[in-house]
């Protein structure tokens, strides 16, 4: 019985090309008490592998958080499968704004302590006492009010390429970093301001809204379904789009274009640009913004040092990486002294 991915990314990409079918990129989450996450994980993997689902999913005692892709021809079959799981019946599915058949190239279903790394002790507050959900129309109306504070619950490398007009965008690397910073910055307005939050698909705001209500904020709101659902509703109902730039996504696409505005710059030359890349030196893999000109000049690398390493034979590169385990030091998002326009 297959309980793990057996194909490489290159092998899977070839199969996708050979299949010649369009795939849908989808995300969803659901908070729910799962008694045995490992058993649920294994059952899910078997079912999804048979349905040719690809992507990254986290399962824990508190629920599920999934970013996946499925063949468009098997979407109804996939949805029917979800409906057989009691707590996932009719769960909201956020379908990507822009599609790419290779947004995911492997199926990974992992058991984690939490479906979002928030650093909170859930036993200290009521995680079900969440804020008021806002649809796009109501969201546009409330953020226009003077007594509203709009907060981006995403990380700096996400908001850098796109965010809502007038939003507070904390300069943080992780979701957990933003929670205390926002509370401290807004502590004088716990009773007289509307605290309105948003994120990519809604999952971070679900936990943050309950946390801030616990911390004494009286008027807490969250954008239902996040930016992805907001854009869908804006198009469906012909509403004014208040989001500027791109929406960062955690798959091979890296982002979805929401408006024509380019609000960020190339981290190497300073020219207007909002295209993320990962440094081609696999010992670095830094995520940063790089324009086409610098991409060519730097051979997809973030620094001259990485460029020199990337141009070495693969065997030599592997030897240089051997035994090194720098973890998050390597995979920092846009934090490098080598980047002239982002440090």
pLDDT tens-digit series, residues 195-247: 999 999 999 999 999 999 999 999 999 999 999 999 999 999 999 999 999 99
Q: Which H or E run includes 213?
A: helix 203-214
Task: Inform me whether the pLDDT recorded for 336 exceeds 80.
Answer: yes
Residues 28-55 have a mean pLDDT of: 95
**Is residue 227 domain-shared with residue 329, that is, in the same domain?**
no
Q: Which of 76, 111, 146 is the last residue of a domain?
A: 111
Q: Is 249 within the bounds of a domain?
A: no
- As given in the structure block, the two tokens for residue 129 are 């006492």
How do residues 241-267 score in pLDDT, each as one tens digit?
A: 999 999 999 888 899 999 999 999 999
**Residue 181 is assigned to a structural domain of this protein:** yes
Catalytic residue among 199, 284, 301, 302: 199
For residue 252, being part of any structural domain is answered with no
pLDDT at position 328: 43
CA–CA separation, 3 and 277 (whole Å): 31
Could you tell me the CATH number of the domain that includes residue 180? 3.40.250.10
Same domain, 176 and 141: yes
| Residue 132 placed within a domain | yes
pLDDT, tens digit, 9 for 90 and up, residues 124-169 = 888 889 999 999 999 999 999 999 999 999 999 999 999 999 999 9
Over residues 286-299, mean pLDDT: 96
Global model pTM greater than 0.85: yes
State how beta strands 148-152 and 194-198 pair.
parallel
Judge whether 37 lies within some domain: yes
284 noted as active-site residue: no
- The helices-and-strands tally (H runs, E runs) of the chain is 11, 14
State whether 107 and 13 are in the same domain.
Answer: yes
Clarify whether residues 220 and 278 are in a common domain: no
- 37 and 74 in a single domain? The answer is yes
Q: How many domains, the chain?
A: 3
C-beta separation of 161 from 241 below 8 A: no
The residue among 51, 77, 111 that closes a domain is: 111
In a domain, 38, yes or no: yes
Q: Are residues 84 and 165 in the same domain?
A: no
| Domain residue limits at 206 | 122-232
Q: Please, what is the average pLDDT of the chain?
A: 92
Rounded distance between C-alpha atoms, residue 191 and residue 205, angstroms? 19
Least confident of 187-196, 280-289, 333-342: 333-342
Domain of 22, CATH number, reads 3.30.70.100
Q: Are 127 and 225 found together in one domain?
A: yes
* pLDDT at residue 181 greater than cutoff 60: yes
Residue 106 lies in a domain: yes
Q: Are residues 164 and 82 in the same domain?
A: no
Instruction: Supply the DSSP symbol for 240.
Output: P
Residues 200, 130 share a domain: yes
Residues 128 and 210 in one domain: yes
Q: Where a domain ends, among 210, 232, 254? A: 232
HSE-up of 153 (CA within 13 Å, CB side)? 28
Which residue is it, tokens 């998002």? 333
Asked, for residue 254, whether it belongs to a domain, the answer is: no
In this structure, the answer to whether residues 162 and 208 fall within a common structural domain is: yes
- The proportion of the chain whose per-residue pLDDT surpasses 70, expressed as a percent, equals 96
- Specify whether 94 is located in the same domain as 20: yes
């Amino acid at each position: 019985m297959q309980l793990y991915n057996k194909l490489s990314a290159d092998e899977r990409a070839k199969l996708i090309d050979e299949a010649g079918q369009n795939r849908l990129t989808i995300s969803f989450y659901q908070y729910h008490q799962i008694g045995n996450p490992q058993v649920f994980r294994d059952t899910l993997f078997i079912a999804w592998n048979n349905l040719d689902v690809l992507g990254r999913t986290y399962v824990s005692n508190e629920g599920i958080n999934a970013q996946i892709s499925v063949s468009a021809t098997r979407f109804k079959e996939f949805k029917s499968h979800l409906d057989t799981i009691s707590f996932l019946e009719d769960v909201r599915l956020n379908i990507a704004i822009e599609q790419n058949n290779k947004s995911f190239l492997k199926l990974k279903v992992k058991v984690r302590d939490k479906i979002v790394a928030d650093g909170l002790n859930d036993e200290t507050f009521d995680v079900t006492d969440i804020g008021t959900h806002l649809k796009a129309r109501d969201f546009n109306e409330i953020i226009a009010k003077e007594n509203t504070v709009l907060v981006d619950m995403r990380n700096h490398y996400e908001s850098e390429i796109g965010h809502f007009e007038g939003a507070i965008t904390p300069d943080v690397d992780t979701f957990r970093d933003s929670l205390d910073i926002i509370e401290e910055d807004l502590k004088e307005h716990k009773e007289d301001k509307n605290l309105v939050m948003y994120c990519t698909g809604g999952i971070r705001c679900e936990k943050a809204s309950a946390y801030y209500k616990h911390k004494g904020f009286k008027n807490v709101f969250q954008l239902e379904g996040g930016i992805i659902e907001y854009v869908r509703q804006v198009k469906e109902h012909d509403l004014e789009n208040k989001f500027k730039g791109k929406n960062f996504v955690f798959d091979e696409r890296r982002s979805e274009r929401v408006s024509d505005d380019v609000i960020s710059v190339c981290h190497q030359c300073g020219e207007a640009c909002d295209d993320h890349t990962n440094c081609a030196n696999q010992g670095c893999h830094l995520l940063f913004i790089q324009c086409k000109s610098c991409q060519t000049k730097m051979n997809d690398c973030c620094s001259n040092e990485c460029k020199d390493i990337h141009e070495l034979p693969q065997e030599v590169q592997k030897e240089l990486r051997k035994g090194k385990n720098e973890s998050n030091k390597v995979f920092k998002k846009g934090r490098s002294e080598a980047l002239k326009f982002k440090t």
